Amino acid sequence: MEEGTFGEWLKPNGATVARGEPLFVLEGEKSAQDIEAVDAGILRIPPNGPRPGDTVKVGQVLAWFVQPGEELPTGGPSPAATAPVSSAPAAASAAVPPAAAPPPATAASPTAFATAATVPSHSPPAAVSAGVTAGSQVASPRARRAARDLGLDLGQIPGTGVTGRIRERDVVAAAQTGSAPKVPAATRVSAPAGISSIRKTIAARMLESSTQTAPVTLHRRCDASNLVNLRRQFQSLGANSAPPPPTYTDLIVKLVACVLADFPEIRTQWLPAGPFLPPNLDVAVAVDTPQGLLAPVLREVQTQTVRQLSANLRSLAERARGGQLSADELSGGCFTITNLGTLGVEHFTPIINLPQVAILGLGRIASEPVALAGEVRLREQLPLSLTFDHRIVDGGPAARFLAAVAQAIENPGPWLMP
In the predicted model, is pLDDT for residue 257 greater than 90?
A: yes
**Quick one: CA torsion of 124, 129, 134, 135, rounded to 10 degrees?**
140
How high is the pLDDT of residue 183?
66
User: How far is Cα 96 from Cα 92, in angstroms, rounded to an integer?
Assistant: 8
**Segment holding 293, helix H or strand E:** strand 292-294
In the predicted model, is pLDDT for residue 412 greater than 50?
A: yes
In the predicted model, is pLDDT for residue 166 greater than 60?
A: yes
pTM over 0.85: no
Structure confidence by residue, pLDDT tens digits, 180-222: 777 665 444 444 445 566 777 788 888 888 888 999 999 999 9
How high is the pLDDT of residue 184?
62
User: How far is Cα 123 from Cα 21, in angstroms, rounded to an integer?
Assistant: 28
**Quick one: CA torsion of 276, 277, 278, 279, rounded to 10 degrees?**
-130
In the predicted model, is pLDDT for residue 385 greater than 70?
A: yes
In the predicted model, is pLDDT for residue 152 greater than 60?
A: yes
Per DSSP, the three-state class of 34 is strand
Classify burial at 188, counting beta carbons within 10 Å of its beta carbon; exposed 0-12, middle 13-18, buried 19 or more. exposed
Which of the pair, 300 or 153, is modelled with greater confidence? 300
In the predicted model, is pLDDT for residue 417 greater than 90?
A: no
In the predicted model, is pLDDT for residue 332 greater than 70?
A: yes
In the predicted model, is pLDDT for residue 277 greater than 60?
A: yes
What confidence tier does 267 reach under pLDDT thresholds 50, 70, 90? Answer: very high
How high is the pLDDT of residue 228?
96
Structure confidence by residue, pLDDT tens digits, 334-358: 999 999 999 999 999 999 999 999 9
How high is the pLDDT of residue 103?
35
How high is the pLDDT of residue 79?
52
In the predicted model, is pLDDT for residue 397 greater than 90?
A: yes
In the predicted model, is pLDDT for residue 122 greater than 60?
A: no
13: nearest Cα among 164, 123, 133, 139: 133
CB 373 within 8 A of CB 391: no
Domain boundaries, the chain: 1-136, 198-416
Which of 229-238, 275-284, 379-388 comes out lowest in average pLDDT? 229-238
How high is the pLDDT of residue 58?
80
How high is the pLDDT of residue 384?
97
How high is the pLDDT of residue 74?
60
**Segment holding 378, helix H or strand E:** strand 375-389
- Same CATH fold assignment for domains 1-136 and 198-416: no
| Mean pLDDT on 157-164 | 77
In the predicted model, is pLDDT for residue 107 greater than 80?
A: no
User: How far is Cα 138 from Cα 11, in angstroms, rounded to an integer?
Assistant: 8
Question: Domain 1-136, CATH 2.40.50.100 — does that match?
Answer: yes
CATH number of the domain at 198-416, please? 3.30.559.10
| Mean pLDDT on 311-322 | 93
User: How far is Cα 348 from Cα 215, in angstroms, rounded to an integer?
Assistant: 13
Task: Name the percent of the chain lying above pLDDT 90.
Answer: 39
| Mean pLDDT on 304-319 | 94
In the predicted model, is pLDDT for residue 146 greater than 60?
A: yes
Which of 136-140, 287-291, 307-311 comes out lowest in average pLDDT? 136-140
In the predicted model, is pLDDT for residue 171 greater than 70?
A: yes
- From residue 259, alpha-carbon distances to 56, 116, 255 in Å are 43, 57, 6
Q: What is the average pLDDT value for the chain, to the nearest integer?
A: 79
In the predicted model, is pLDDT for residue 92 greater than 60?
A: no
Structure confidence by residue, pLDDT tens digits, 32-53: 788 888 888 999 998 888 888 8
How high is the pLDDT of residue 123?
37
| Mean pLDDT on 80-95 | 36
**Segment holding 55, helix H or strand E:** strand 55-57
Distance of CA 247 to the CA centre of its chain: 22
In the predicted model, is pLDDT for residue 241 greater than 70?
A: no
Phi and psi at residue 48, in whole multiples of 5°?
-100, 25
CB 270 within 8 A of CB 392: yes
How high is the pLDDT of residue 223?
96
